Structures are given as C-alpha cells and as structure tokens.
Homo-oligomer: A and B are copies of this chain.
Amino acid sequence: MPLIVQKYGGSSVADAERIINVAKRIGAVQKSGAAVVVVVSAMGDTTDELIELAHTISHEPHAREMDLLLSTGELVSSTLLTMALRELGHEAISLSGPQAGIRTDTSFGRARISRIEPARVRRELDAGRIVVVAGFQGITAEDDITTLGRGGSDTTAVAIAAALQADRCEIYTDVEGIYTADPRIVSGARKIDEVGYEEMLELASLGAKMHPRSIELGGVYRVPIYVASSFSDTPGTLIHAVGNGPADAFAAGLPTAAKPEPEHITAISPSAEFQTGNQMEDRIKVTGIAYNANVAKITVQSVPDRPGLAAALFEPLAEASISVDTIVQNTGGDKSTDISFTVSRTDLPAAVRLVEGMAQQLGAAGVVSSAGLAAVSIVGSGMQNTPGYASRMFRLLANGGVNIDMITTSEIRISCIIDESQGRDAVRLLHEGFQLDRS
C-alpha cells in the first residue's frame, strides 16, 4: 500500500468550510488505496494573532513560553480536521508533535528536528487510521515544547515522510505550484512541472513559497515533494531528484530557456567541463527568476585589512542569529578595505548596532547602511560554470536601466542586488529576456 504524507497550510484550513473540503480531499486519497499521514498548519492567521496577543502582555515574550503558546494553533487545526474526517466516516486520529515523536533541540522559536520516533504514527496507520499531525512543533529531551520556526510545518511533513519512507510528500498551499517567476509580478510566469532539489533550494530561498530547510531535508533523504493547490485539482510541481544533466530534464519534460543570443554566447569562454557530455544547448537552462524584496545592506568603510577581519565582524552577527547573505569585500591599494554585506530588512537595526561596535574596535572609518534593496536572481541547474548567463543577465538589466549594486553567484544561481524600486521591472525584464514565458 502506498504511503502518502500530505501537508496543508494555514490558508487551506482557515475556516470550518475549508477544513471540511480538505477532509474530503484526504478521504478520497485514502479511498484510492493509500495510507495517509496529514500534517497541518494553524488556521489562517492564528499564529500571528497569538504573537500579537503575547506582545500585548510582554515586550519581549520569553521564547519557551512563546513556543508553548504557538503550539496550540496547530493542535486546534489538527483536532478540527480529524473531527471533520470522522464526520465523513473515516477513521482518523490527531497527534500533537510530541505524540508523533518529533524530537528537537532546545532552540525555542527555531528548533531543529533531532530525530523522529514514528512508533505511534505507525501503530495508528496499521490500525487503518488517517493520522493528522500538528505541524511546526516538537518536544525536547527535557519535555519542553518547541516550534520549528519559519517553514516549520513543511519541515514536519518532509521529516515524517523521510522517517516513514513515504512514497511522497505532498505540500498543499494556496498557489498551484512553483513558477518561473512570481505571477504577481510577471503575468506570463509559467508553472514548472518538475524541478531538482538544488534548483528549488535557490528558488525557495529567494522568495518562492517553500522554506529552503524542507527542500534541503527532502534532498538529503530523497523524498519526492509535490507542491500543489488545495483549492483546485490543477497539477502542481514535483520536486525530486532530476538528473543533474539536462538530458534528464528534457526527458522529464522540463521547460528550458531558449538558446541565448549568439553575441552573448560568443563572449564566453566555456570551461572544459562545459564541452563534455551533453550538447551545449541541452545545458542551457534557466528554470526561474527568484525575487526577494526584503534586503538591506551594510558597508563597513576603510577597515584596516588583516587576517581574521571577516571573522571578527561576522561572529557577533551569527551569535545573534542574524543571517548574512551576499558578502563583498573590495581591497584597495592602501591596506584598507570596504566590506559590504546584506541582511534581511527586519534584522537591519540589530545588525547595525552590532557592526558599529565591532567596526570601531577594528579601526574602520565608518558604517553606512541602506534598507531599500532587493535581490533578483536567475536560477537553473544548467548554468554552473557558464559565464554567458551572468553577462546576459547584466546586459538585460543594463538595457532596462537597472543599476546593479552587488553581485553574487552560486553553482546554480546568479543574483544581483538592486534598488527595490526597480525590482519588479527587473524580474519582468529577466523573465522575458530568458524567454521563460515560452513553453
């Protein structure tokens, strides 16, 4: 019997009517002959409302208390969904995170799953029940309740699918899958049928709906993840181990970018690796355009260059759990250097405070920061070591009058930090320029 893990997000269970609809979908899957585990988020805006309530009482609510408070949101939705399933005549049981054996570390508010003890889930499945698990929560070795932070319920679902060796993990949300760009920005954005974990990771971390940690987990345990809408039966996007080579991608019917204009291609000196194996045009592939408007930049000016400089600067940020993204260091001729880096806009005030203290110790001339930035990226597993994509991207942006502030690249991604006011235009320019609107 196939085993399916399904996850429904907060908007899919926002009210009684939607919960009943979701129950019908789940029932149909079980009737089709599969064993089903369902992971569910809190109803609608419950989590935000609880956070707000906590802030009416405490300026800085204690993290452990906050987690126990927030864990109630998923208990409510999971029990209600189970009642709806039973009302439809299905055998079902809800399990809290602890009951489902979700063991975590003690990092309240952003706990990481240490292991899953799926004995109870298995027992309930063996008894023929649909098992509804409260997402986003776990329990420490000391019996304290934790929440998993951003993307927590997706992570719960993928982790349970991995622990149970489920056939696949289905993430149901209010969008119909993963797109070549944000459809709210690019009207011609197309849904991607399937995508590899690594590409999805770049798309996810740069603004798409799924949190990268669940994709990472899926990649490590090779859990096929299907992302689709809970409001329709339109096919969604399958994230799975597509071969690194584009031949696989073609075989699987993946969309590919049109061949780049010759002038850009000829400007490139392809690496040796690039020439071997498959045909060049097969490798040409931009899967999607990612966009993140929540970017701020800090520059430490004219800091005397010496070993350990970057470590001294970034260690305090890491300790404060502030994620640093793009880092650029320009060393001039005069033994001093400018270091610029980006953080999320919400982290900017805290980051500036920490960096200013450190900059003074390091003898820097000053610290400047700006908040109104965005990151626009092209993502595609066929791009590695292929400078043509970078220059083509820069040309498209230049032709559109978009000024590039910082650049960063990974194996399968090229990102530009630009002014936020030009961000949406940049996404459209790139989507059109890489011909992602054509199937």
A interface residues, Cβ below 8 angstroms from B? 16, 19-20, 50, 53-54, 56-59, 61-62, 64-66, 68-69, 71-72, 75-76, 78-80, 82-84, 86-87, 93-94, 96, 98-99, 120, 143-145
With known contacts A16-B53, A80-B53, A68–B86 Cβ distance under 8 A = no
With known contacts A54-B83, A57-B83, A83-B54, A68–B62 Cβ distance under 8 A = no
**How would you classify the secondary structure of chain A's contact residues: helix, strand, loop or mixed?**
helix
A66 to B87 alpha-carbon distance, docked (Å): 13
Contact A68 B96 (CB under 8 A): yes
Residues of B within 8 A of A54 (CB): 79-80, 83
Residues of B within 8 A of A83 (CB): 54, 57-58, 61-62, 65-66, 69
Residues of B within 8 A of A71 (CB): 75
A72 to B79 alpha-carbon distance, docked (Å): 11
Contact B64 A75 (CB under 8 A): no
Residues of B within 8 A of A86 (CB): 58, 62, 65
- 9 inter-chain pairs at a CB distance below 8 angstroms, sorted by A residue, are A53-B80, A54-B79, A57-B83, A57-B84, A62-B86, A64-B93, A68-B94, A69-B76, A72-B72
A93 to B65 alpha-carbon distance, docked (Å): 7
Contact B79 A69 (CB under 8 A): yes
The contact of A65 among B64, B68, B94, by CB within 8 Å, is: B94
A400 to B58 alpha-carbon distance, docked (Å): 57
Query: Other CB < 8 Å A-B pairs besides A69-B79, A69-B83, 7 of them?
Result: A16-B56, A54-B79, A58-B86, A58-B87, A65-B86, A66-B83, A98-B143
Interchain nearest-CB distance for A59 vs B (Å):
7
A16 to B61 alpha-carbon distance, docked (Å): 13
Residues of B within 8 A of A20 (CB): 57
Contact B79 A66 (CB under 8 A): yes
Contact A16 B76 (CB under 8 A): no
The contact of A87 among B53, B57, B80, B96, by CB within 8 Å, is: B57
Interchain nearest-CB distance for A101 vs B (Å):
10
* Candidate in A16, A20, A79 with the most chain B CB atoms within 10 angstroms: A79
A288 to B96 alpha-carbon distance, docked (Å): 46
Residues of B within 8 A of A82 (CB): 62, 65
Interchain nearest-CB distance for A308 vs B (Å):
38
Interchain nearest-CB distance for A25 vs B (Å):
15
Interchain nearest-CB distance for A129 vs B (Å):
12
Residues of B within 8 A of A98 (CB): 143
Contact A87 B75 (CB under 8 A): no
Interchain nearest-CB distance for A130 vs B (Å):
12
With known contacts A79-B68, A94-B65, A120-B143, A57–B19 Cβ distance under 8 A = yes
Interchain nearest-CB distance for A181 vs B (Å):
38
Residues of B within 8 A of A145 (CB): 96
Interchain nearest-CB distance for A120 vs B (Å):
7
Residues of B within 8 A of A75 (CB): 68-69, 71-72, 75
Contact A99 B57 (CB under 8 A): no
Contact A72 B76 (CB under 8 A): yes
Q: Which 3 residue pairs spanning A and B have beta carbons closest together?
A: A72-B72, A69-B79, A58-B83
Residues of B within 8 A of A94 (CB): 65, 68
Residues of B within 8 A of A57 (CB): 16, 19-20, 80, 83-84, 87
Interchain nearest-CB distance for A353 vs B (Å):
23
Interchain nearest-CB distance for A43 vs B (Å):
9
Q: Which residue of B lies closest to A68 (CB)?
A: B79
Contact B65 A87 (CB under 8 A): no
Interchain nearest-CB distance for A397 vs B (Å):
47
A50 to B82 alpha-carbon distance, docked (Å): 14
A72 to B66 alpha-carbon distance, docked (Å): 13
* Candidate in A65, A76, A87, A99 with the most chain B CB atoms within 10 angstroms: A65
A139 to B80 alpha-carbon distance, docked (Å): 20
Interchain nearest-CB distance for A44 vs B (Å):
13
Contact B58 A84 (CB under 8 A): yes
